[in-house]
Amino acid sequence: MAGALIIVIFFLLMFLGIPIAFSLCLAALFYMTVFVDIPSIIIAQQILSGVDKFTLMAIPFFVVAGSLMEFGGISRRIVNLSKSVVGTLPGGMAIVTIISSMIFAAMTGAGAATTAAVGSIMIPAMKEQGYDPDFACGLQATAGIFGPLIPPSILMVLYGITAGTSVGDMLLAGLLPGIFLGILLLGVVVVMCMRRGYKGEGRFQPGNILKSFLQSLWAIFAPVLILGGIYSGIFTPTEAAGVTCFYSLVIGLFVYREIKFAEVTWIMFKSFKLAAGIMLIVGSTQAFGWVLTRERIPQAVALWFNSVISSPTVFLFAVCAMLLVAGCFIDAVPALLIMAPILVPAAISFDIDLIHFGVVMVVTLCIGLVTPPVGINLFVASSVGNRPVHKIVPKLPVFLATIIVGMVIVVLFQPLATFLVYLKK
């Protein structure tokens, strides 16, 4: 009874407009004040315990690296390379948007950063080429979901820590599903662009490809550095994040020279502010999760699922439906941190591979980045494209349906998530 009540209190506080981190802490404080005789200082201890993990240091580093890449010219060079290769095809600018987002995702791990960095270049470019501006914003918002899916991924790091699985394995597990969803979206978008009459830009010129490749060589090396370093065993995901941050700073300052020394402090402040918000949610979720665990909520949920569902596949689809609804109202990071400790024991009871389960959770929550009323990618694309959100939303159904079909395939075909992980072993 007490556990159910604090969950209700949390959602009530959240819908009243109180920030999620404070809603979590206030719900936990209510429990300790009313139901148990435990000093409230335990909340502070649990918050500190939640963020006192070496692996979590990867999050602020990747956030900083994403900002440095955005302002240091790396994202623009990636877009130019993609444009020189596929920009002349029918719907070329839309194809460039998706491919550039996938490449940039392999360096930052965040959906909003990917949407902002690529969208600030591609949405105006698509408008100039005669694309419907709302279509352009909707496409960019959807393409931004690859940020938290293709490694490195902040959501994969958080799931690995929460579920007790290898963070390196989780990062690797997101690669094939991310590429698969990208190819699926590319196919649908090309058909849509051909029907709408969106043509390519310019002529195919091998010389331009070589020129763009040489100009973007330092940018392309970033994902090679991150993923190659992690999977070769040279450094851990956390160390990879630190190296990427330093690399992005050096490239922005001394190679591309698009970051001035005076701007570094501002970029760092902006990044640390965003990272601090994420870490506060992580710590607050630990306090809230401590209360749920004390009330044996995860075990109760596992027993309930076992009593009404007998098939692991049906359980996975039930989780997807639950997370799709949750993603409409809660951002992906707190949704993952709240739901994973509750759902992982149930997944274990169904003998589901936790790596596959993590990928299913992350893919589903990534869809929430685009769905109103909370979808952060949607609002970033709206801001970058200077278009009202209610004009963009009608352009989303085909994009979202494509990603949902991909999600279903990821659920049904486990090797898509686990093949590379077990091949490495």
Amino acid type, 176:
L
Token pair 């959602």 is at which residue? 11
Q: Which of 276, 228, 279, 261 is nearest to 71 (CA)?
A: 261
Query: Residue 103 is which amino acid?
Result: I
**3-class DSSP state for residue 257?**
coil
DSSP state of 99: H
* Angstrom distance (rounded) from CA 366 to CA 331: 9
Return the pLDDT at 139: 92
Q: Which amino acid is at 383?
A: S
Measured CA to CA, the distance from residue 341 to residue 42 in angstroms comes to 19
Q: What is the DSSP string of 315-328?
A: HHHHHHHHHHHHHH
For helices 133-143 and 111-128, the axis angle rounded to 10 degrees is 150
pLDDT at 213: 82
Report yes or no: 32 and 42 within 8 Å, Cβ to Cβ.
Answer: yes
What is the chain's pLDDT, residue by residue, as a tens digit (425 residues)?
Answer: 666 788 788 888 877 878 878 888 888 888 888 777 777 788 888 888 877 777 777 778 877 887 787 787 777 788 888 878 777 778 888 888 898 888 887 776 677 777 877 887 888 888 888 888 999 999 999 998 888 888 878 888 889 888 888 888 888 898 899 999 999 999 999 899 888 888 777 676 777 778 888 888 888 787 788 778 877 778 887 888 888 888 888 888 888 888 888 888 888 888 888 778 778 887 888 888 788 777 777 777 777 777 888 889 999 999 999 888 888 777 788 888 888 888 898 899 899 999 999 999 999 998 988 887 667 788 788 887 888 888 888 889 999 999 999 999 999 999 999 998 888 76
Give me the count of residues in the chain. Answer: 425
| CB-count exposure of residue 265 (10 Å: 0-12, 13-18, 19+) | exposed
Q: Do the beta carbons of residue 28 and residue 290 sit within 8 Å?
A: yes
* 240, 57 Cβ separation under 8 angstroms: no
Give, for 357, the enclosing helix (H) or strand (E). Answer: helix 354-367
Place of tokens 């607050």: 284
CB 358 within 8 A of CB 173: yes
**Whole-angstrom distance between the N-terminal and C-terminal Cα of the chain?**
44
Quote the pLDDT of residue 3: 66
Q: Residue 396: which of 145, 150, 175 has the closest Cα?
A: 145
Which helix H or strand E contains 347, and what residues bound it? helix 332-349
Which residue type does 84 have? S
> Are the CB atoms for 394 and 299 separated by under 8 Å?
no
Is this prediction's pTM over 0.85? no
Backbone φ/ψ region at 179: left (φ over 0), alpha (ψ -120 to 50), beta: alpha
Q: Where are the domains positioned within the chain?
A: 2-424
> Are 25 and 284 spatial neighbours (Cβ–Cβ below 8 Å)?
yes
Residue 288 pLDDT: 82
Handedness of CA 344, 168, 157, 56 (dihedral sign): positive
CA-angle at 271, arms to 118 and 243, nearest 5°: 85
Sequential DSSP letters for 59-92: HHHHHHHHHHHHHTTHHHHHHHHHHHHHTTSTTH
Closest CA relative to residue 178, chosen from 397, 403, 328, 380: 403
Helices (H), 232-260: 237-250
Q: For 230-304, where are the E strands, in sequence order?
A: none
Give dist(CA 350, CA 348) in Å, integer. Answer: 5
